[in-house]
Amino acid sequence: MNDFHGALEPPKVGVPAKTADGRDVEVPAGGAAYLAGAAKALREGQANTVTVSAGDMIGATPLPSALFLDEPAINAMDLVGVEYNAVGNHEFDKGSAELLRMQTGGCEKHTSRQPCRLEPFDGASFRFLAANVRRADGSTLFPSTGTKDFGPVQVGFIGMTLKETATLVSPAGVAGLTFADEAVTANAAVPQLRAAGADAIVLLIHQGARTDGLYNDKGCPGLSGDLLPILDRLDPAISVVISGHTHRAYVCDYKRPGGGPLLLTSAGRSGIMITDIRLGVTAGGGVQVRSAGNVIVQGEGFTAGTKQVPLNTEFRTFGADEATAALVRRYVDASLAEALRVVGRLSGEVTRDLNEDREQTAGNLIADAQLAASRGAGAQVAFINSGGVRTDLAPAADGSVTYGQIFAMQPFGNSLVTKTLSGAQLKAFLEQQFASGTNTAENPNMLLPSAGFFFAYDLKRPAGDRIVEMLLNGRRIEPGASYRVTVNNFMASGGDNFTVLANGVEVTDAGSDLDALEAWLAKGVKAPGLGRIKDRTAR
């Protein structure tokens, strides 16, 4: 599995699927108790099994997990039966010291929240792996590899995150750590595992791909993504790659140049699927047989607004594991009063859906709230990175919005920072949406601005010259003028490859991003529309 993100409760997600007779349907999926039930059902009757995860088990989590520092997510994964988890970028959201506590347990405080708030925390029974996460002395934060002994044969695991992790989390959270090249690191671990007796080697990597097919389309049409160049450089001794990060689901027989067959899998996100991988391994002979299929974790139907997704009897249903269900109930009940507290009102739904200009209303709402909260610091414009907006926001019939809803929308606990940038720096900042690190013209990392700011771009222009218009309250941005700009602390320190922001001056703290959104909604606001961004690329 991969990208669980502390989804203790069923996330009200329907998996698009096809029935045996070719009909398109949605299958309800997810929930830690059903995930544990599915894992146990798939292991039942099998003598040789191991359950593993490819990262982002914690971080960016719903309130019942996040309110308790993701301790319940770790405990739930113990009950699921996980034995190894490769760290992902979100494992570092609260810093390496807190991540180490997730492994070893205890109640030492590393964040603003109180550890062990509901009960003592013993840490994970499973092992974190971090082959490419290095301290200054060259040692790894967690072990690079692990081995599962099946009597006559042994299976070795290499675990790692993507090398860009340092740009995807707050720099303070990864201070003193470096993230090495994935393929080089994996290949270096192969001789060690061979020497330790591994007959088959599996890579758990928090990097991923995308396909145009459904969750179990073995043809993997349109396979693409940052993982593929890594696969092409792997030692042929690595037979299976279990991936994540993109939140996509796929099972592929990947053909690497001159390297023989490679089984590539990903199980989507939030515990909605689990990949059932079958290997035939002989002592000294490696993997002789390999197959896999993604299994939808169907346990109960759901209603979301006017949408109803009932159980689908054409797909397997799993019972809830009782111990995991009890754990979930305990933490959900403990978070309920806070989750249901009404914080304000909104005139209509805002979503993360991108229009043709790559703009979204949910991001616009957050940017407006952040500008309002930082006016006292002189802010003239605020920006939110699209990755910082985690859910849509749909008010109740009376317009009310709860704390649980806005927490799900902004679960990171970021603070707001206001900086002074020149007009030239502001343009360079916006250019980095399309040409900085992993931000490219093909896969832009969009910034959503507050009301009153407008920008237009042309992706056919050369890198560094794609922003063709910038207006603040109808007036053109002047290169030599100064502007007060608000962003979250993650971006302010260069996160998401927005490195220009680190050069800002006259830095002012403007409080919590979540507090800003709560205060904005408390006034009762109209859902913002679109029109702040324009794509002027000629078609």
| pLDDT attached to residue 304 | 81
| pLDDT attached to residue 103 | 98
Neighbours of 341 (CB within 10 A): 11
Q: What is the residue whose two structure tokens read 């317009």?
A: 399
The predicted-structure confidence for 485-534, as pLDDT tens digits, reads as follows 999 988 887 888 899 998 999 988 888 899 999 999 999 999 999 999 99
Using CA atoms of 126, 127, 130, 133 in order, give the dihedral in degrees to the nearest 10: 100
How far is it, in rounded angstroms, from Cα 510 to Cα 537?
A: 36
Amino acid at 412: F
Q: Give ranges for CATH 3.60.21.10 in the chain.
A: 13-331
| pLDDT attached to residue 307 | 85
| pLDDT attached to residue 171 | 76
CA angle 483, 484, 490 (to 5 degrees): 125
Tokens linked to 417: 């920072």
In which element (H, E) is residue 404 found? helix 403-409
Is residue 439 within 8 Å of residue 432, measured between CB atoms?
A: yes
Q: Give ranges for CATH 3.90.780.10 in the chain.
A: 342-535
| pLDDT attached to residue 46 | 94
| pLDDT attached to residue 258 | 78
How far is it, in rounded angstroms, from Cα 263 to Cα 246?
A: 17
**CA-closest candidate to residue 270, choices 301, 291, 297, 294:** 297
| pLDDT attached to residue 284 | 86
Amino acid at 138: G
Residues of 494-532 as b/e, b for ≥16 C-beta within 10 angstroms?
bbbbbbbbeebeeebebebbbebbbbbbeeebebbeeeb
Is residue 203 within 8 Å of residue 238, measured between CB atoms?
A: yes
Is residue 63 within 8 Å of residue 346, measured between CB atoms?
A: no
In the chain, the N- to C-terminal Cα span, in Å, equals 40
Read off the pTM. 0.84
| pLDDT attached to residue 173 | 83
Tokens linked to 205: 């990597």
Query: What is the assigned CATH class of domain 13-331?
Result: alpha beta
State which residues of the chain have pLDDT below 70. none
Own/partner pairs for 303-312, CB < 8 Å, 24+ apart? 304/12, 305/394, 309/12, 309/14, 309/26, 309/27, 309/28, 310/28, 311/28, 312/17, 312/25, 312/26, 312/27, 312/28
Is 3.40.50.2300 the CATH number for 342-535? no
